[in-house]
Amino acid sequence: MKFDTPATTNPIDRLEAVGKPFDRIDGRFKTTGTAPYAYERHDVAPNAAYGYVVTSGVAKGRIASIDVAAARAAPGVLGVVTWQNAGKLGQAKTHYARLLGGPEVQHYHQAIGLVVAETFEQARAAAGLVRVDYAREPGRYDLAAQLETAPLVGGDSGEGSASPPVHRTGDFEGAFAAAPVKLDAWYSTPDESHAMLEPHASVAAWDGDSVTVWTSNQMVAWAVRDLSETLLIPAEKIRIVSPFVGGGFGTKLWIRSDALLAALGARMAGRPVKVNLARAQVPNNTTHRPATMQRVRLGAARDGRIAAVAHESWSGNLPGGKPETATDQTRLLYAGANRLTSMRLAALDLPEGNAMRAPGEAPGMMALEVAMDELAEKLGMDPVELRIVNDTQVDPEKPERHYSQRNLVRCLRTGAEKFGWNRRNARPGRTRDGTWLVGMGVAAAFRNNLLTKSAARVRLDGRGVVTVETDMTDIGTGSYTILAQTAAEMMGVAVDQVVVRLGDSRFPVSAGSGGQWGANNSTAGVYAACVKLREAVAGKLGVDAASAVFAGGEVRAGGRNLPLAQAAAGGELVAEDAIEYGELHKKYQQSTFGAHFVEVGVDRFTGETRVRRMLAVCAAGRILNPKSARSQVIGAMTMGVGAALMEHLAVDKRPDYGFFVNHDLAGYEVPVHADIPHQDVIFLDETDPLSSPMKAKGVAELGICGVAAAVANAIYNATGARVREYPITLDKVL
Ligand code: MOS
């Protein structure tokens, strides 16, 4: 189905199943331990052997020699895979570092081998017997050291939307020089780790020259493609299965070494092999959100209108890697005739930097939205009002291009009222509660809404049960549930009459889970397939689907009715289709908007910050399930607090080392429940007929964008300490 004219009234608008706060279908399985994660697939591979990944102990250099004899002779060991015996391997175009290194080593903890044994303990013990001698080379680990030399490089946010290295509109330098009120400030964000609960894990089994990999992955079709490019076998010979994912946040957008090594290990051992990455291997073996340094310049008239905005960002990556697109939102968020954005990329020998929840906008808003707070103070203006004054209903770089929908101002005003913003004292350090200095902060939220092809198959059987099949994943987001709601609405059946089967490359290719595009696109794909299934069912009644009503488990038209079970009594009805986007969406800018409000207390004596209250107001089109959407947003807000106050991969910058020191959940701090006492989420009641037939948009990543800046701004309001280096630990506040 080509979506190329604005959506009109359709069956989804009935909102009998869609838009309701259904519990997550997978919730019971996950909380009772009956959702089989990849590493637990004893059912499909009861005779699996265990692989333990051997990782590099240096960041850069060559393996001078490797001795696996002792490991191979250890009890239970079935074999050792290294680059020397793995056969010819390719490199997936989306990977900057090889998933199996050697003899060249590109980053610390890069996989250089796999020990396969009868038990996990035997594999791990034997891995400790592998002797490796390295010829070390000094690496580059310090972004700040390359501020002057890093070249301009474009990016694509790791997820598909292109960003040029430099973008100019008007005359930034002239307008900035002439502006009566100016801000010029530097901000920095650290390397961060996804810290999802389930580490990367895979089980691989070969059948002749075909391989099946049960794994934990967000993008099943990308996994097939990347494994095909790496193993150098045709995509048809690869099956990827990923029905349950214990969190991803971007690090499972692409396969990692566990998937490749499980396949190589299984080929060597001649039986299935399961591999998981030990928690302490994850941050350095896989991907991370790269650190940034950002310079923001804002020039405004005395009434607050921005005349000049410049946002320049520096980040680093392995050679061939891409920059963090931290300037993306600055091209779109506020009005202003004279604009400059640029990205520079330093070559670093740290592990691969790549997408982590809202790549680009999440760290970019951490700078831009503090800069707006600083500008508001210079202007003597309320920071909510400053943002409202600079609202735009068109793309500021292309004024002929309108937003499909943009309700940022309503988010700000609604939030200010509900949060009690008028109780905020604009002068820092004036509000106290015992020994706590109390402050409030605000930030806009912004994240693009990406429209991407998504296919699905739906079946109707003789019991009247509707089965949905698509390679969409559910990474804890609620995909199972909203897809069931969509099919139920379209076919006029109860939600519990729908079976949803996900995460298998044998199913039609969906949008997958990334870039907050999963919900709108994958439900629209199911919508498209259901339109075809409705035609098949209506045909059984001898009527046109357009004139038929699907409700109560039957189809009705012209005074006649037919139960769905009966329509399929003579054989299962099957329909398959995809949502595809034509020219329409290119004419409009598709984004999601919100406002974050945060109240903090800062201990007057220790500088410790405690978040007291948070509110997010989101404008993200139709909300398909307010319960799962709220869960996504409060989770993202929590992650934003982590980015503001705690999260920080500490880099060992010594020339021979270059790795993330705190590479486990003991040393890498994220918020716990006690850190987050109170969160509210308000969804504006809106639909976007230009986004899809669902009239929905993404919301999961919107929830993080701006949060950390709102915390930083609240800390400033509480204390008068303006911290521009994240995370805002107490030493920086004192
Ligand atoms: Mo994401 S960083 O869109 O999985």
By C-alpha distance, which of 481, 565, 470, 574 is closest to 526?
470
Q: Is the CB of 518 under 6 A from ligand 1?
A: no
Does residue 283 sit within a domain? no
Q: Is the minimum distance from the CB of 248 to ligand 1 under 6 angstroms?
A: yes
Q: Answer yes or no: is 357 within a domain.
A: yes
Q: Tell me, yes or no, whether 299 and 416 share the same domain.
A: yes
Same structural domain for residues 131 and 250?
A: yes
- Please indicate, yes or no, if residue 281 is contained in any of the structural domains: no
Listed residue (404, 357, 388, 383) closest to 705, CA to CA: 357
Same domain, 548 and 636: no
> Is the confidence at residue 41, as pLDDT, over 60?
yes
User: What angle, rounded to 10 degrees, do the helices at 707-719 and 361-379 form?
Assistant: 30
Instruction: Please give the backbone phi and psi of residue 642, each rounded to the nearest 5 degrees, phi first.
Output: -60, -45
Q: Do both 182 and 316 map to the same domain? A: yes
Does residue 284 sit within a domain? Answer: no
Domain boundary among 245, 276, 307: 276
Instruction: Give 161's pLDDT tier (boundaries 50, 70, 90).
Output: low
Residue 163 and residue 306 in one domain:
yes
- Spot the catalytic one: 192, 377, 554, 701: 701
> Does residue 155 lie in a domain region?
yes
- The C-alpha atoms of residue 482 and residue 488 are separated, in whole angstroms, by 10
- Regarding whether 457 and 356 lie in a shared domain, the answer is no
Q: 71-80, 169-178, 575-584, 651-660: which has the minimum mean pLDDT?
A: 651-660
Q: Sheet containing 679-683: which strands, arranged edge to edge?
A: 432-433, 436-448, 591-603, 609-619, 679-683
Could you tell me the pLDDT band of residue 131, with boundaries at 50, 70 and 90? very high
Residue 240 lies in a domain: yes
pTM above 0.95, yes or no: yes
What tens digit of pLDDT does each residue of 103-130 get? Answer: 999 999 999 999 999 999 999 999 999 9
CA pair distance 592, 336, nearest whole angstrom = 20
Same domain, 184 and 306: yes
Express each pLDDT in 694-720 by its tens digit.
999 999 999 999 999 999 999 999 999
pLDDT band per the 50, 70, 90 thresholds, residue 450? very high
Look up the ipTM and state it. Answer: 0.96
Is the beta carbon of 349 within 6 A of some atom in ligand 1? Answer: no
Among 249, 288, 632, which is best to mutate for testing ligand 1, by the most ligand atoms less than 8 A from CB?
Answer: 249
Instruction: State pLDDT tens for residues 351-395.
Output: 999 999 999 999 999 999 999 999 999 999 999 999 999 999 999
What is the tens place of the pLDDT at every residue in 313-331? 999 999 999 999 999 999 9
Dist. CA 357 → ligand 1 center (Å)? 5
Q: Does 21 map to a domain? A: yes
| DSSP single-letter state for residue 423 | G
| Ligand 1 atom closest to 248 (CA) | 4
**Is ligand 1 within 6 A of the CB of residue 635?**
no
In a shared domain, residues 444 and 455:
no
Is 121 annotated in the active site?
A: no
Single-letter amino acid, residue 140: R
Residue 559: what pLDDT?
92
The total number of structural domains in the chain stands at: 3
Domain end (from 243, 276, 309): 276
**Range(s) of the domain holding residue 116:** 43-137+202-276
At residue 157, the pLDDT reads 59
Identify the domain boundary among 541, 557, 586. Answer: 586
pLDDT band at 655 (very low <50, low <70, confident <90, very high): confident
Cis omega (within 30 of 0) for bond into 727: yes
Please state, in angstroms and rounded to a whole number, the distance separating the CA atoms of residues 543 and 460. Answer: 18
Give the model's confidence band at 159: pLDDT under 50 very low, under 70 low, under 90 confident, else very high: low
d(CA 659, CA 449) in angstroms, rounded, equals 34
Residue ranges with strand state E in 655-698: 659-660, 679-683
Q: What is the pLDDT of residues 81-92, one digit of tens each?
A: 999 999 999 999
Q: How far apart are the C-alpha atoms of 725 and 734, rounded to whole Å? A: 14
Query: pLDDT tens digits, residue range 476-527?
Result: 999 999 999 999 999 999 999 999 999 999 999 999 999 999 999 999 999 9
d(CA 251, ligand 1 centre) in Å = 8
Angle in degrees, CA 609, 606, 720, rounded to 5: 60
pLDDT tens across 536-567, in order?
999 999 999 999 999 999 999 989 999 999 99
* Mean pLDDT, range 263-287, rounded to an integer: 98
pLDDT digits (tens, 9 = 90+) for 215-230: 999 999 999 999 999 9
The DSSP code sequence of 349-366 is -SSPB---SSTTHHHHHH
Pocket flag, ligand 1, residue 192 (CB < 6 Å): no
Same domain for 296 and 242: no
Q: What per-residue confidence (pLDDT) applies to 81? A: 98
pLDDT average, residue stretch 564-587: 94
Q: Decide: helix, strand or coil at residue 372.
A: helix
Residue 356 in contact with ligand 1 by CB distance below 6 A = yes
Residue 158 has pLDDT above 60, yes or no: no
Segment 67-85 mean pLDDT = 98
Tens digits of residue pLDDT in 668-680: 999 999 999 999 9
Which atom of ligand 1 lies nearest, measured to the CA of 218? Answer: 4
Distance 158 CA to ligand 1 centre (A): 9
Same domain? 364 vs 444: yes
In a mutational test of the pocket of ligand 1, which residue from 473, 517, 701 has the highest number of ligand atoms less than 8 Å from its CB? 701
- Is the residue at 197 inside a domain? no
Residues 539 and 414 in one domain: no
Ligand 1 and 702: CB distance under 6 A: no
Amino acid at 407: N
Asked whether 245 lines ligand 1 (CB < 6 A), one says no
Are β-strands 573-581 and 2-3 bridged in parallel, bridged antiparallel, or unpaired?
parallel
250 lines ligand 1 (CB under 6 A): yes
Pocket test for ligand 1, best of 242, 253, 289 (most atoms within 8 A of CB): 253
Q: How many residues in the chain?
A: 734
Average pLDDT over residues 279-290: 98
Residue 381 shares a structural domain with residue 422? yes
Number of other residues whose CB lies within 10 A of the CB of residue 689: 17
- Cβ contacts of 360 within 8 Å, gap of 6 or more: 155, 157, 163, 324, 325, 326, 327, 328, 329
Q: How far apart are CA 153 and CA 146, in angstroms?
A: 14
- Is pLDDT at 160 greater than 70 in this prediction? no
Pairing of strands 77-81, 111-117: antiparallel
What is the share, in percent, of the chain residues with pLDDT greater than 90?
96
The span from the CA of 608 to the CA of 606, in Å, is 5
Q: What's the mean pLDDT in 239-264?
A: 97
The CATH number that applies at residue 219 is 3.30.365.10
Structure confidence at residue 654 as a pLDDT band (50, 70, 90): confident
Q: What is the position in ligand 1's atom list of the atom closest to the CA of 253?
A: 4
State the Cα torsion 371-375-381-383 to the nearest 10°. -10
